[in-house]
Amino acid sequence: MKRSFSWVVAVFLMVGMVFMISSVPASAAAPAPKTIKIGVMISLTGPDFQTGGPAKVGYDLAAEEINKGGGVVVKAYGKKIPIELVMLDMETNPEKAIARAEAFNAQNVPLCLGTTLVGASAEIFEKNKLPVVASIMTINAIMDRGFKNFFNIGTLNSDLAEAIFDTFGALPKGTMPTKWAFLKEQSDFSTELFVFAKQMAAKRGISVVYEGEYAMMTPDLSALITGAKNNGADVAFAFPTPPDAITMLKQSAQLGYRPKANIMLRASDDPSWGKLGPLGDYAIGSPDWHPALNYPGVKELNATIKAKTGQPANPSVGSAYASVKVAAAAIERAGSLDRAAIRDALAATDMDTVVGHVKFNSRNARVGVIRPVVQWQGGTMELVWPDKQKSKPLVYPIPYK
């Protein structure tokens, strides 16, 4: 009898232990991580450093602000957890970008962020079901592929082309230039941009009187400049690197080509352009963000950057900063560090940021975006579009001396 009783007691104890184990919350069964590691793909070396360097400032500042409040609330663990940004240099190299995306998957991070060339690894993120938020990535074709895990809070080439034509369309009636030259770099993103530009020009009654192509870092662009000049182009529209843009300006002066407007996207989007002095004046650019934009948090961000660096916020800062805030909000809504849950939370994003309102369409591209347009005036990058937020009006035509 005693043996029988002991056996019964043992059985009840075992059942009780099983019940207790099964009823323990997940947070107790799996201890909360010390930090939420978020992968950041960024070019800190190579030609894209001019974007990557300032973007790092934006990423770091947003993470610092979030962690000052204790981090992100993760419901599964019942507590706030600080975020930790793990940065890998893409080195301005698409192959390195792909390798970095695979590396982050191997590290089992729940989420990634990235600039520019992060688009080269979109297929890797999709294959690994690892959500990523791009902050400065303009290629429509990537978004058109319908990736479920690739989100973009930046503007696209179609938005860029539209902003340029809207800027000139706002000029007084009868003054908008109608003869344009397209000076096209031989690259995928430049080619796509000018496809959109040509379509939009036709709808607005603008004639593309000359189109010329060149390879990056070509030392002699005289054939293109002469083509634009001989065809009477009032506007020279290009998407060059800074060295190519300087070559265009210098050789245009030598060949006597004096367009009424110089659109030099990319090259004139960086604050360092102001160091060119009179040579770079009146060039038109279109960075993804500008510190004069009237969006929630921009004034505070500018003040913080000014206090830290003594300089106004670089255009690359805003988008990077906003992407961290979007990522943190998605993690909090997901309530866990599960990739699928975070992906679904990102898709449902509907929030105001320093880049404006962020909401995604079915392709995970932002809806209702307005690309800022700038013009260098007296060595200062002035915001000339959107019209209601401009710091200075567009100077057109260029007042050559």
* Cα distance between residue 194 and residue 197, in whole Å: 5
Domains contained in the chain, number: 2
Q: Given CA atoms 333, 338, 340, 346 in this order, what sign does their dihedral have?
A: positive
Render pLDDT for 190-209 as a digit per residue (tens, 0 to 9): 999 999 999 999 999 999 99
Please tell me whether residues 47 and 127 are part of one structural domain.
yes
Render pLDDT for 138-163 as a digit per residue (tens, 0 to 9): 999 999 999 999 999 999 999 999 99
Structural domain contains residue 250: yes
Structural domain contains residue 6: no
Please tell me whether residues 269 and 380 are part of one structural domain.
yes
Predicted confidence at residue 248, as pLDDT, reads: 97
Structure tokens given for 175: 């003054």
* Cα distance between residue 283 and residue 280, in whole Å: 6
Range of the domain at 269: 158-287+373-389
**DSSP per-residue codes, 210-251:** EEEEE-TT-S--HHHHHHHHHTT-SEEEE---HHHHHHHHHH
* Cα distance between residue 83 and residue 364, in whole Å: 24
Please tell me whether residues 93 and 164 are part of one structural domain.
no
Residue 185 CB contacts under 8 Å (≥ 6 apart), including other chains: 213, 214, 215, 216, 238, 239, 240, 241, 244
Q: Contact, 335 vs 76, CB < 8 A?
A: yes
Q: Given CA atoms 172, 173, 175, 176 in this order, what sign does their dihedral have?
A: positive
Quickly state the pLDDT bin for 289 (edges 50, 70, 90).
very high
Least confident of 13-17, 94-98, 300-304, 390-394: 13-17
Q: What is the pTM of this model?
A: 0.89
Please tell me whether residues 320 and 385 are part of one structural domain.
no
Least confident of 85-89, 116-120, 319-323: 116-120
Quickly state the pLDDT bin for 220 (edges 50, 70, 90).
very high
Quickly state the pLDDT bin for 27 (edges 50, 70, 90).
very low
Structural domain contains residue 4: no
Percent of the chain scoring above 90 in pLDDT: 86
Helical residues (DSSP H) of 264-394, grouped into ranges: 298-309, 315-334, 339-347
Mark 85-107 as b/e (b = at least 16 C-beta within 10 Å): bebbbbbbbeebbbebbeebbee
Please tell me whether residues 122 and 45 are part of one structural domain.
yes
Please tell me whether residues 49 and 163 are part of one structural domain.
no
Select from 372, 296, 316 the least CA-distant residue to 305. Answer: 316
Please tell me whether residues 104 and 126 are part of one structural domain.
yes
Please tell me whether residues 280 and 147 are part of one structural domain.
no
* DSSP helix/strand/coil, 299: helix
**CB count, 10 Å around CB of 5?**
9
Structural domain contains residue 29: no
CATH code of residue 349: 3.40.50.2300
CA distances from 319 to 101, 224, 325 (A): 20, 34, 10
